[in-house]
C-alpha cells in the first residue's frame, strides 16, 4: 500500500490515482486528519503540494510533525516521493534551504536532468530534457547534506533531488490542464472575468503539451511504484 498525503484541499492527487489504479493506496488529507505514524504508511509515501510554504509552522501547524515523519521515513528507507511543497518540506527537514518568492514558474517548463538524474531509477527512462507542469513561487536553493540534485530548470537550479529513499520534484507530474487552469483561476468560487481568463490562458498553454507532460509524469510515478514493488 502507498500512502498519498494531501497537504491542501486544493491540491489533490489528480492523475496519480489513475496511474496507480493497480496499487492499493490510501489518501490522508491533513485538513481532516493528523500526520500519521510511520507504521501506518504502508510500503511507500507520496507527499503532495499545496499553497503553504515550507517555513511557516504557524500557518501550517502540521509542518513540524510532517518534517519528523519524512526524517523517520528516510531513516527507515521507505520510498518517498515529494511533489512541490512536499519536495520543499523535505529539503528543510533534511537540513537544506528554501527561498520564498524567488522562482516563479507557472505553466509548461523544460527541465534538464543532471548526470545523477540520468541513472536514477525514477528518472532514467526520461529524456535528458523533458517538459513539466510547474506552479510555484518558492524553491529549494540549498541541497540537504548528502543529497544529490537530479534535475534543474533555468529559474530553479534544484528541480529534483534524492536523499536516501526520498526523491523530491519541484514540478507537478500529476497536474492535468484542468487542474492547472483551476490553480491559475484561484480558489474563489465566484471568480471575476479576469480570473477566469487567466484559467483559460493556462488551459490553452497546457493542452497542446499535455500528451508529453502526462507521459513523463506517469513515467515518474510508475517508476516510483516499481521501486516499491522491488523493495
141-150 b/e with 16+ CB inside 10 Å = b?
bebbeebbbb
Q: Is 198 among the catalytic positions? A: no
Report d(CA 131, CA 212) in Å as an integer. Answer: 7
Q: Is 87 among the catalytic positions? A: no
Catalytic residue among 84, 105, 136, 198: 84
Catalytic residue among 136, 156, 174, 198: 174
Q: Is 174 among the catalytic positions? A: yes
Report d(CA 85, CA 162) in Å as an integer. Answer: 15
Catalytic residue among 52, 87, 136, 172: 172
User: Catalytic residue positions?
Assistant: 84, 172, 174
Amino acid at each position: 500500500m502507498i500512502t498519498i498525503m494531501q497537504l491542501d484541499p486544493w491540491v489533490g492527487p489528480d492523475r496519480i490515482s489513475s496511474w496507480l489504479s493497480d496499487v492499493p493506496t490510501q489518501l490522508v488529507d491533513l485538513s481532516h486528519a493528523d500526520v500519521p505514524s510511520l507504521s501506518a504508511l504502508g510500503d511507500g509515501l507520496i507527499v503532495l503540494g499545496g499553497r503553504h510554504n515550507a517555513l511557516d509552522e504557524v500557518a501550517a501547524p502540521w509542518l513540524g510533525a510532517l518534517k519528523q515523519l519524512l526524517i523517520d521515513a528516510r531513516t527507515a528507507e521507505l520510498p518517498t516521493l515529494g511533489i512541490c511543497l512536499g519536495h520543499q518540506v523535505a529539503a528543510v527537514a533534511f537540513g537544506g534551504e528554501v527561498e520564498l518568492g524567488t522562482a516563479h514558474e507557472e505553466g509548461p517548463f523544460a527541465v534538464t536532468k543532471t548526470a545523477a538524474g540520468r541513472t536514477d531509477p525514477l528518472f532514467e527512462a526520461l529524456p535528458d530534457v523533458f517538459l513539466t507542469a510547474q506552479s510555484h513561487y518558492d524553491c529549494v536553493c540549498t541541497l540537504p547534506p548528502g543529497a544529490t540534485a537530479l534535475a534543474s530548470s533555468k529559474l530553479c537550479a534544484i528541480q529534483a533531488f534524492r536523499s536516501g529513499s526520498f526523491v523530491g520534484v519541484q514540478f507537478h507530474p500529476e497536474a492535468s490542464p484542468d487542474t492547472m487552469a483551476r490553480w491559475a483561476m484561484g480558489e474563489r468560487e465566484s471568480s471575476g472575468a479576469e480570473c477566469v481568463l487567466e484559467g483559460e490562458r493556462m488551459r490553452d498553454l497546457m493542452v497542446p503539451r499535455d500528451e508529453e507532460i502526462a507521459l513523463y509524469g506517469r513515467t515518474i510515478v510508475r517508476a516510483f511504484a516499481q521501486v516499491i514493488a522491488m523493495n
